[in-house]
Amino acid sequence: MNEEMFRALRSDIRAGLDVTTSVGNRELMTYIEQIILERENLRYLTAQEKHELVRKLYDSFRGLDVLQPLVDNPSITEIMINSYKEIFIEEEGQIRRLPLAFESSSRLEDIIQSIVSGVNRVVNDSSPIVDARLRDGSRVNIVLPPVALKGPAMTIRKFPETPMTMNELVSREALSQEAADLLQTLVAAKYNIFICGGTGSGKTTFLNALSQFIPPQERVITIEDSAELQIVTVPNLVSLETRNANTEGKGEITIRDLIRSSLRMRPNRIVVGEVRGAECLDMLQAMNTGHDGALSTGHSNSARDMVNRLETMVLSAADLPIPVVRQQISSAIDIFVHLSRLRDRTRRVVEISEVSGIKDGEVVLNRLYEFRETGEREGRIQGGLVGCGNPLLHSAKLKMAGVTGAYPLQQQAAVEPGEEEMI
C-alpha cells in the first residue's frame, strides 16, 4: 500500500469515529480491524500485511505514527528526525537513514505537541527548544522553527527497559572487573563520584549501573532536567524534575532550585543527572556540607577537561576567586570516571582518577586506571583498563564505612614522580 492510499484510509477512519476523545484504545483497534476486513480493495493483503497495517493505523492515531515501530525496536538506540521527511536511526553503533517520512510538517508538529503536553512542557515559536521524555523514559530533545531551518527537529535517545548492571558492562568489556569492584566499594563508602564523557558515551547508563551499589536503606534524591534515571534498588527514592516557565514567563523551576530544596528533604545522597551551568556551584556546595555519596555527570573530553569545565560553570554562577573555586572542586569531588566512544563505536571507561588535592594552586588528579589499546581484531579494538600503579590516597571514607580489609589499589606501591596530573 502506497502512502496516498494509507492517508485516504486513515482519513476514512477519522471521519467514521471521534478517535481523539470518545473512543477507547481497544475500541479504536477493533474498529480499524473491522474496516480493513470489510474493504474489498484490501482483500489481496496477506494476514501478516493486514496485521501490520492495523498496527500502523493505530499508531498514527494513538502512538507516535511512523516513529512507533522504531521506539518499540530495542536494538535502536537513537532516533533523529531532521525534518518531517528525513529520519535517521542509530542501530548497533551505525547511523543510517530510513525510507520513512511523516505525511507533512504539521503532522510531525502534532506528534511533538502530544509528547511535550504529556510531561507538562510547552514548545512553540516563542520557546522553540525543549527537553522532554516518552512514557518509556526515552529522552527527547525538540527544536522548532525558526531555530530549526528545515522544519521541526526531534532527537530521541532510548534506554533499555531494565537498567544495565555493572556485571553486564564488565561482560561487554566496558571496564575491568577490578575497576568495577573498586567503584562498588567507593559508592558504598559514599565517595562523591563524577562521570564525564562525550555525547553518546554512555554516561547515563553508567550512572544507572553505579546507583545499583547504593545501600537500599538509604534515602536518595534524584534531580534532572528530564527524568530518565532508572534507580531500581533503592525503595526510599524521590525523583525531581525541572519545569519550564509558562507562557507568561513565570513558574520556572531550575536544577539550582531543586538542589537547594533537596537539602531540606533529609537525603542520604543526591544524584544530579547532569550539570551544565550555574547549578554546578550548588552541587559542589551540597557535597561540601556533609552530603557525601553524590553522583553526577557532565560533558567533557577527559577528566582534566572536566575540572576546567567545572571551574567555568562555577564562575558563571558567582564571581569567586579561582583559588576558592579550585578548593571547592578539590574538597567536593573524590573520583572522576571518564567514558569515551571509541572508533569501533564501543563505549568504554577510559580513565578513573582520584582528586588528590591542591598543589601550587592547581587541582591534582591521581590517575588510578587508564584504557590501554593492544590492537584490533575483526574491527573491534582490543585492550582494557589497567592500573597505573598509583594507590588510592584518600581512604578516610573507607574507614568510616567500615572497610577494613584489602581493596583494589590499597596494596600498590606509592605514587611515582610524574604519575599525578596537575590541572
- The answer to whether residues 36 and 53 touch, using CB atoms and an 8 Å cutoff, is yes
276-291 tens-digit pLDDT: 999 999 999 999 888 8
- Domain residue spans in the chain? 1-60, 63-158, 166-422
User: How confident is the model over 164-177, as a mean pLDDT?
Assistant: 94
Please tell me what DSSP assigns to residue 253. B
Residue matched to cell numbers 599525578: 420
**pLDDT value of position 411:** 45
Q: In CATH, what class is 166-422?
A: alpha beta
Task: State which amino acid sits at residue 9.
Answer: L
Q: How many of the other CB atoms lie within 10 Å of CB of 418?
A: 6
Of 92 and 215, which is predicted with more confidence? 215
**Which fold would CATH assign to domain 63-158?**
Beta-Lactamase (3.30.450)
178-210 tens-digit pLDDT: 999 999 999 999 999 999 999 889 999 999 999
CA 97 to centroid of chain Cα atoms: 23
Contacts of 208 (CB under 8 A, 6+ apart): 163, 164, 229, 230, 231
**pLDDT value of position 413:** 39
Tell me how many degrees the CA angle 38-44-48 measures, rounded to the nearest 5. Answer: 90
Q: How many of the other CB atoms lie within 10 Å of CB of 413?
A: 8
